[in-house]
Amino acid sequence: MSDAWVLVIAVGAGTIALKSAGPLLLGGREVPARARGVLALLGPAVLAALIVTQAFAGDREIVVDARAAGLGAAAVALLLRAPLLVVLVVAAAVAAGVRAVGI
Amino acid sequence: MAVSTDHPPGTIAEGMRAVAPLAVAVGLFGIPFGVLARDAVGVLPALVFSATTFAGSAQMASVSILADGGALAAAIVAALLLNTRYLPIGISVARSLPRRLTARLLAAQLSVDESWAISHRGAGRYDGRVLVGAGLVLYAAWVVGTAIGAAGGSVLGDPEDLGLDAAFPALFLALLVGQVRDRRGAVVALLGSALAVVLIPFVPAGVPIIAASAACLLGLRR
């Protein structure tokens, strides 16, 4: 089998297993109250990490570039209570603008 | 956007509408992935990859490693590390997914970052219908984007020139603001981002996110 198919099958099977494990093993059961307290905080923890990695991660280094400018603009838009679509467009436009002028 | 804690049950259509702006960005990122994957693994494997794995950052990372002449094992490990966050994410949505086994397993595949966050209903509860609606639109966008890239190459140029890569952290910030309801949530978010920043230079991509997710263990404290 070619490397391409080994990659596709291994990553595909692994990812499907990772996504399925919780729903398969837990079923529709209610989780205990303490576990629920932990899961309620999973959103803030993972979202915060996704923001940092998507805005500032380079190849094993912290990079501050046009993405950071876009994120900053998005923060301002959120403070002004802009709708989600506006927040996304502002972030993209500012990042594109910063890249266009070559900062 | 779904952020308040008291919500009537949502619908699949609601999830589809809520995720629409983001699906545009996901689809536009599927195009350069398709271009890169066509050259690195071929057209058919590229399409099967997007249709089965359905995880943009992991697919992009692993295909980039192969394209740069890296080892197959390194490409597989990098992708799986990036997707390990789907283990806790799957646990968190388990209760809200359909009861029937087939439907449950299919819905689980649609639980990706964006559909997961958009379907949050407060206090760790998720709306399964909103999740499925959002996931279906994201899935279609990602697979179609991949197909366009693999078939014809990039017609739109580099999505980074359009600043689209900045739309993703912006989205996650908007979703975070909606999910931080109290001081404990804010502390966890700050701790999670601090852990990620500190770890990025030292560990492979994906590991900082897994480590940061441990910040939610603060929920064990009464």
Walk along chain A (103 residues) in steps of 10 and give the mean pLDDT of each run.
93 97 86 83 90 91 95 97 90 95 80
B109 in contact with A at a CB cutoff of 8 Å? yes
* CA angle in degrees (0–180, nearest 5) for B23-B10-A81: 60
Comparing B39 with B12, the larger pLDDT belongs to B12
Residues paired with B120 in a beta bridge: B126
Q: Which of B22, B25, B45, B23 is nearest to B150 (CA)?
A: B45
**The residue type at B18:** A
Chain A residues within an 8 Å CB radius of B170 = 70-71, 73-74, 87-88, 90-92
Interchain proximity A19–B66, CB inside 8 Å: no
B26: distance to nearest CA of chain A, Å? 12
- Residue B165 has what pLDDT? 86
**Contact call for residues B48 and B74 (beta carbons, < 8 A):** no
Helix, strand, coil percentages in chain A from 3-state DSSP, rounded to 5:
75, 0, 20
Q: ipTM, 2 decimals?
A: 0.89
**The residue type at A23:** P
Interchain proximity A26–B66, CB inside 8 Å: no
Interchain proximity B214–A45, CB inside 8 Å: yes
User: Between residues 31 and 60 of chain A, which touch chain B (CB distance below 8 Å)?
Assistant: 31, 34, 36-57, 60
Interchain proximity A42–B89, CB inside 8 Å: yes
Whole-structure pTM value: 0.84
Q: Provide φ and ψ at A62, rounded to 5°.
A: -85, 125
- pLDDT tens for each residue of A26-55: 877 777 888 888 888 888 998 999 999 999
- Residue A84 has what pLDDT? 83
Ordered DSSP codes for A6-22: HHHHHHHHHHHHHHHHH
- Residue B1 has what pLDDT? 45
**The residue type at B132:** V
- Distance from the Cα of residue B187 to its chain's centroid: 23
Chain B residues within an 8 Å CB radius of A71 = 166, 169-170, 173
- Residue B175 has what pLDDT? 84
- Residue A32 has what pLDDT? 83
Sign of CA pseudo-dihedral B61, A12, B66, B82: positive
Interchain proximity A23–B94, CB inside 8 Å: yes
Q: Provide φ and ψ at A58, rounded to 5°.
A: -110, -150
Chain B residues within an 8 Å CB radius of A54 = 165, 168-169, 172
Interchain proximity A95–B163, CB inside 8 Å: yes
Long-range contacts of B176-182 (CB under 8 A, 24+ apart): B176/A43, B176/A44, B176/A47, B176/A48, B176/A51, B177/A78, B177/B3, B178/B1, B178/B2, B178/B3, B178/B120, B179/A43, B179/A44, B179/A47, B179/B3, B179/B117, B179/B120, B180/A44, B181/B5, B181/B122, B181/B123
